[in-house]
Structure formats: C-alpha cells, structure tokens
Amino acid sequence: MHDLQDRVAIVTGSSRGIGRAIALELASRGAAVVVNYAGNAAAAAEVVALIAGAGGRAIAVQADIRVAAEAKRLVAEALEAFDTVDILVNNAGIARDKLLMRMSEEDWDQVLNTNLKGAFNCIKAVQRTMLRKRSGRIINIGSVVGLIGNAGQANYAAAKAGLVGLTKAVARELGSRHITVNLVAPGYVETDMTADLPPELLQKAVEMVPLGRLAQPQDVAGVVGFFASDAAAYLTGQVVCVDGGMAM
C-alpha cells in the first residue's frame, strides 16, 4: 500500500518507541520521512537506514522542539530536503512521574514544555506551508492518561489533556484550508519507557485492559497511518484511544 506516495512527513521524537514505529509505517506507505530526535543520533540513523534499505526516503534532523527556533529549523531542513511538508506527527514526549507533593517545578516545566509546548511550536512552524498548499495532516500523540488521569502523573496528564484542547482548537482554525488535526491516545504500550516499570505494575496495567495485553508500537502507528491518508480526509478534531478498551 503506497497511499502516501509523494507525501512528506515530519515525526518528532522518532528515533525509538512509538515514534520509530510511526516513521517506519509512514515510510512503508510511500512517504518521505524526517526523523526528528533530541539526543540519540545513532538510533535516528538506524531508523533512516531501515527506511532507505526498504527503498524509502528519509533524513534525520536533531532539534529540541521545546525551543521555537529549533522547531522552525526542523521544518526548514525538511523543506530543504523534500520541498514540502504534508504530514506532521507530534510524538515527542517525556515523563517525569512523581506524586504531586514531591513534584518539582522543573518536573512540571520539562514535561509541559516537551509534550505540549513542543507540539505548539511544531504546528506553528509548519502551518504556513500547509496553509499555502491548502492541505495537510497534523496528528498529535496524546495518552489515555490525558483523558482519565493517573496518580503520580499530574504533569503528564495535564500536558496530554492540553493536547486534546490544542487538537480541537487548531482543527477549527485550519479546517477551511483542508488541514485536518487529530489525536491518537495510546494506553500502555510496550516500549523502552514501559520496560522500566516493575513487573507487578505491568501486570496491573494488563489487568485494566479488556483485550488483555499491552499495545505494540505498531498498533498506534497503524492508526496514525490511517489519519495521514486520504481515507481520513473527513475526520478532524477527533480523539481515538488505542488502548485495548482501557479508557472506555
């Protein structure tokens, strides 16, 4: 299936985990992919090599999306390499989990700046190109935690809930130019972020999921691929939980 042939996608935080799976999924559908990373150059290069090895086009771009100028540079490098940007996936995210009483101001700021402000910076940087083309796909990666909350994740839940509001507001602003803005909210996904959780916590997480398993990164990537495609042209402002039924 090459339904994204001749499209160009930026995927933030795509050197590993869900972002890596999304980059590979979009590339498998024919898109040229800008693999954005914050620090792990080797992991980003590996994703680029996998895409190139399968006959696709990709570049890696280091940029700290918390900084507006860096987000602008990310988009500028994408335009320089591929002439346009059709798809933006705001996936970059971090967690600094602590109970609120122990959470420092820095724990709060780092998570909000990466997970929420980073998405704002990237949308702002890319929107002019999409407005000029009168088309585009913006897909934000949220979390079911942003919808139902989770003890010890006040910063993360607030940032991901903020992404829901950002998604809907921007969907209303950009809809008349055929730019769709949607959010995919994963539940627990098997990545290196969850690999560090104690086994009893993971077991508890699985018990909360009606489908009885954690998500694989590909489960999330497939839904992102759908939102990026023409099949989703009439969907905007939507929140889709990819969580095995956890948050219903």
Instruction: Write out the catalytic residue numbers.
Output: 156
Alpha-carbon gap, residue 232 to 59, rounded angstroms:
26
CA distances from 70 to 31, 64, 164, 167, 224 (A): 23, 6, 23, 21, 24
Decide: residue 197, CB within 10 A, 0-12 exposed, 13-18 middle, 19+ buried: middle
